[in-house]
């Protein structure tokens, strides 16, 4: 099939199927055309012999200026209506353009950062990419990655939601960039080294803003946490799956501190994150001969990964080989779609796009 693009080095045009047939996707909207009214071909193609731009060359230059203007003033090239992507691992050919950078765009990770149930999942995914996948990111993937990261940081600065998780993410990202840019040389990362240095400066600036973040005290004349019955406060602590959250809440009042030191609470937390076989290898007894479950928890997390828990995750359909957000759905042709769904962890998501 002959190539239909204007430049053989470009990826060609993008097409979408409609009721009237296939139509080419227009990336440049009316707003873009209005903003480029200042590009005057007559100034480029005047009768002056010193002007080298004539005829078709002037049109090419104008198109390039429009393209550069669009790329510099937009966060993504195209917003897809379908919030799913086809991924077939192990095949020699893949349907569509299934790369990590394209997946960020197709699955609408930018909007996912505004969903409190998906927020932790997206942040964890960005953290794993920061630790091991930065050298493999293409230019488009880098752009999508840092756009999503910027939205996450802005959201935390605005609503003060989960700053500790984002601090850990930025710390891992800055540490990795320092090693890659200074220790391993310029050839490791894709793109100009100066761009990565600017990104590193931006990350350090975000870290400073988060460190200076002051959460305002809530002033309310109604019922507070300390006004709740003791059993209800204890039940709230049992709903937490993060040890740092339990410790921080225990610092609020003396009563909560007493409840946060309960051996049964830490035993439940150990049983939630780790297997029973792992307990036997690292038994830690207190002076009274009892198992110190709190110390045991922090010991176990050094050797074994904790159980991941997210409000909403991506799902993979084994029948259709489609990756999607569960509440968004996908066009499944299976007789029993629910039995074909597999939840996808952040690490599994990265593995799907490894060649």
167 domain residue, yes or no: yes
pLDDT at position 141, please?
A: 85
Residue with tokens 């429009």: 66
* Residue 41 is assigned to a structural domain of this protein: no
Residue 280 in any domain: the answer is: yes
- pLDDT given for residue 308 in this prediction: 84
- Whether 8 has a pLDDT exceeding 60, the answer reads no
Instruction: Residue 119: count other Cβ atoms within 10 Å of its Cβ.
Output: 22
Q: How far apart are CA 239 and CA 254, in angstroms?
A: 19
Same domain (yes/no): 207, 97: yes
Q: What is the pLDDT of residue 155?
A: 92
**What residues pair up with 325 in beta bridges, in sequence order?**
314
Contacts of 234 (CB under 8 A, 6+ apart): 259, 262
Q: Which domain holds residue 107?
A: 93-212
Between the CA of residue 194 and those of 144, 171, 198, 201, 235, what are the distances in Å?
18, 20, 6, 11, 52
Asked whether residue 43 is assigned to any structural domain, the reply reads no
Residues 100 and 208 in one domain: yes
What is the torsional sign of CA 259, 309, 102, 200? positive
The verdict on 192 and 248 lying in the same domain is no
Encoding tokens for residue 281?
A: 């290898």
Q: Are residues 206 and 297 in the same domain?
A: no
Question: Residue by residue, what is the 3-state secondary structure of 134-201?
Answer: HHHCCHHHHHHHHHHHHHHHHHHHHHCCCHHHHHHHHHHHHHHHHHHHHHCCCCCCCCCHHHHHHHHH
8/247: higher pLDDT = 247
Flag whether pLDDT at 51 surpasses 60: no
For residues 160-178, give the mean pLDDT. Answer: 90
For residue 17, tell me if it sits in a domain.
Answer: no
Q: Two tokens at 60?
A: 């090419």
- Summarised one tens digit per residue, pLDDT across range 301-313 is 888 888 888 888 8
Answer yes or no: do 114 and 201 share one domain: yes
For residues 207 and 249, membership in a common domain is answered with: no
Per-residue pLDDT, averaged over 221-248, amounts to 87
Between residues 45 and 171, the one the model is more confident about: 171
Read off the tokens for 229: 């019955």
Instruction: Give the burial string for 190-212 (b: 16+ CB within 10 Å, else e).
Output: eeeeeebeebbeebeebbeebee
Reply yes or no on whether the pLDDT at 169 is more than 90: yes
What lies within 8 Å, CB to CB, of 144 at 6+ separation is 76, 101, 104, 105, 109
Average pLDDT, the chain: 77
In this structure, are residues 312 and 325 in contact, taking their beta carbons and an 8 Å threshold?
yes
Give per-residue pLDDT as tens, 103-130. 887 888 888 888 888 899 999 999 999 9
Q: Verify that 264 and 205 share a domain, yes or no.
A: no
- Does residue 97 share a domain with residue 172? yes
Residue 243: name the closest of 264, 226, 266 by CA: 266
Does 179 fall in a domain?
Answer: yes
Of 101-105, 152-156, 342-346, which range is least confident?
A: 101-105
At 186-202, the pLDDT tens digits run 567 787 888 888 898 99
- pLDDT value, residue 55: 47
Q: Please, are residues 101 and 141 in contact by the beta-carbon 8 Å criterion?
A: yes
60: pLDDT strictly greater than 60:
no
Domains of the chain: total: 2
pLDDT band of residue 50 (cuts 50, 70, 90) is very low
Average pLDDT over residues 268-290: 79
Whether residue 160 is found in the same domain as residue 263: no
Is residue 340 in a domain?
Answer: no
Residues 206 and 248 reside in one and the same domain: no
Q: Say what the pTM is.
A: 0.69
Tokens of 227: 């006004």
Of 278, 303, 328, the residue that ends a domain is 303
Establish if 218 belongs to a structural domain: no
Same domain, 207 and 246: no
Residues 168 and 250 in one domain: no
């Amino acid at each position: 099939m002959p190539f239909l693009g204007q430049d053989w080095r470009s990826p060609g045009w993008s097409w979408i199927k409609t009721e009237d047939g296939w139509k080419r996707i227009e990336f440049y909207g009316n707003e873009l055309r209005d903003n480029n009214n200042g590009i005057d071909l007559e100034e480029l193609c005047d009768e002056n012999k010193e002007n080298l731009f004539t005829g078709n060359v002037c049109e090419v230059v104008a198109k390039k200026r429009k393209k550069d203007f669009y790329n510099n003033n937009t966060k993504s090239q195209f917003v897809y209506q379908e919030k799913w992507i086809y991924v077939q691992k192990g095949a020699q050919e893949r349907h569509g353009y299934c790369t990590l950078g394209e997946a960020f765009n197709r699955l609408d990770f930018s909007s996912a950062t505004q969903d409190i149930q998906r927020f932790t999942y997206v942040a964890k995914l960005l953290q794993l990419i920061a630790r091991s996948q930065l050298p493999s990111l293409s230019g488009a993937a880098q752009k999508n990655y840092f756009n999503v990261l910027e939205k996450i940081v802005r959201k935390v600065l605005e609503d003060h939601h989960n700053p500790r998780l984002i601090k850990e993410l930025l710390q891992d990202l800055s540490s990795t960039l320092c090693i890659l840019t200074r220790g391993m040389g310029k050839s490791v990362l894709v793109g100009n080294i100066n761009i990565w240095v600017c990104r590193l400066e931006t990350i350090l600036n975000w870290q400073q803003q988060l460190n200076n973040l002051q959460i305002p005290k809530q002033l309310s004349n109604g019922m507070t946490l300390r006004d709740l019955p003791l059993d209800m406060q204890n039940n709230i602590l049992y709903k937490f799956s993060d040890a740092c959250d339990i410790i921080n809440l225990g610092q609020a009042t003396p009563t909560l501190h007493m409840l946060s030191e309960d051996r049964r609470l830490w035993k439940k937390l150990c049983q939630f994150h780790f297997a029973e076989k792992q307990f036997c290898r690292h038994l830690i007894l207190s002076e009274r001969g009892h198992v110190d479950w709190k110390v045991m928890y922090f010991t176990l997390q050094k050797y074994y990964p904790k159980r991941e828990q997210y409000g909403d995750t991506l799902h993979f359909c084994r029948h259709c080989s489609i990756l999607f957000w569960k509440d968004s759905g996908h066009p499944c042709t299976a007789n029993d779609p629910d039995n074909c769904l597999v939840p996808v962890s952040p690490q599994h998501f990265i593995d799907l796009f490894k060649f």
